[in-house]
């Protein structure tokens, strides 16, 4: 389809393979902030994916208005309003992650581990655009936060609030309410991330997304993963195929910079990989003498 031409011809497509030696340390990257207050919404089996969508702040399903959750800081120049969460996973343990590091699935600090599935948190630029649909194809329109899920004995509590509803959305078109979930508490226990400019990973592949890829996973149990794999694409009369394997393969990076707030200098001192830095020695001569701006000009 013509409107999907970016999926084949676009030059800022996602996901990508993140190569550690090509990461650019940017000391100006800030901590990502997500409002911590809880919101309600609906989890849906769309027949293609599992999506949690927040209730409209003026028409909550529970009868009371809710305050929107905002995403700020990080690499973002604007305020983004949380809109939805997508869940992607493979039907087999070897597959399921979109973003990868050096050809391996995340996390970077345990890069030989196998990813089981991942979630994407999406928000739209509420300072420039009226809603998610309007922002989807507009410049600086969307932020996507990618979080890997790894198998563990204990699940992230907020993730459990979503997976507890999977039996109610087994078939395509099914939906169920989710009450008082904290989007902020879905983040892993780290301030470190990688970021680049890319696209949505489903058609029409709009190149309007600032991606933030968290450097650590959160955890999902084997039981939760099996519950995901029992979901079907079709209805109860014609269930079609299982819902999984709903992810896109890595796309060419094509010279796009991938920045990180991970300072690799300590790793270099310990024999780690070299990573470029955006630290610079910049001196400005003022009336009262020299003023130093920044720190070191070196390669990590």
Q: Which residues pair with 73 in a beta bridge?
A: 32
Tokens of 85: 């969460």
Spot the catalytic one: 129, 171, 193, 206: 129
Segments of the chain assigned E as strands: 17-18, 23-25, 32-34, 39-45, 50-54, 70-73, 80-89, 100-101, 104-105, 117-125, 142-151, 175-181, 193-198, 209-214, 218-220, 258-260, 276-277, 282-286, 289-293
Whole-angstrom Cα distance, residue 94 to residue 91? 9
Which sign does the torsion angle of CA 171, 174, 178, 181 carry? positive
Catalytic site includes residue 129: yes
Q: Is 150 helix (H, G, I), strand (E, B) or coil?
A: strand
Residues with Cβ within 8 Å of 189's Cβ and at least 6 positions away in sequence, in order, are: 216
- List the catalytic residues: 129
């Amino acid at each position: 389809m013509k409107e999907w031409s970016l999926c084949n011809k676009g030059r800022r497509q996602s996901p990508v393979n993140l190569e550690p030696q090509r990461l650019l340390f940017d000391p100006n990257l800030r901590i990502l902030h997500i409002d911590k207050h809880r919101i309600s919404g609906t989890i849906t089996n769309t027949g293609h994916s599992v999506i949690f969508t927040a209730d409209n702040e003026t028409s909550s399903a529970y009868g009371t208005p809710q305050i929107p959750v905002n995403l700020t800081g990080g690499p973002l120049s604007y305020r983004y309003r949380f809109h939805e969460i997508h869940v992607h996973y493979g039907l087999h343990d070897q597959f399921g992650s979109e973003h990868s590091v050096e050809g391996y699935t995340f996390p970077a600090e345990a890069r030989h581990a196998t990813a089981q599935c991942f979630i994407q948190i999406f928000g739209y630029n509420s300072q420039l655009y009226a809603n998610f649909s309007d922002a989807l194809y507009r410049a600086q329109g969307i932020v996507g936060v990618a979080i890997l899920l790894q198998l563990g004995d204990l699940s992230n509590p907020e993730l459990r609030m979503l997976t507890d509803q999977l039996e109610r959305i087994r078939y395509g078109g099914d939906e169920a309410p989710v009450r008082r979930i904290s989007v902020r508490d879905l983040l892993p226990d780290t301030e470190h991330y990688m970021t680049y400019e890319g696209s949505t990973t489903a058609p029409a592949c709009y190149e309007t997304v600032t991606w933030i890829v968290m450097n650590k996973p959160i955890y999902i149990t084997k039981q939760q993963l099996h519950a995901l794999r029992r979901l079907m694409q079709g209805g109860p009369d014609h269930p079609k195929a299982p819902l999984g394997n709903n992810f896109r393969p890595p796309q060419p990076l094509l010279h796009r910079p991938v920045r990180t707030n991970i300072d690799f200098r300590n790793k270099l001192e310990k024999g780690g990989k070299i990573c470029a830095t955006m630290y610079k020695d910049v001196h400005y001569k003022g009336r009262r003498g020299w003023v130093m701006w920044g720190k070191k000009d070196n390669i990590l």
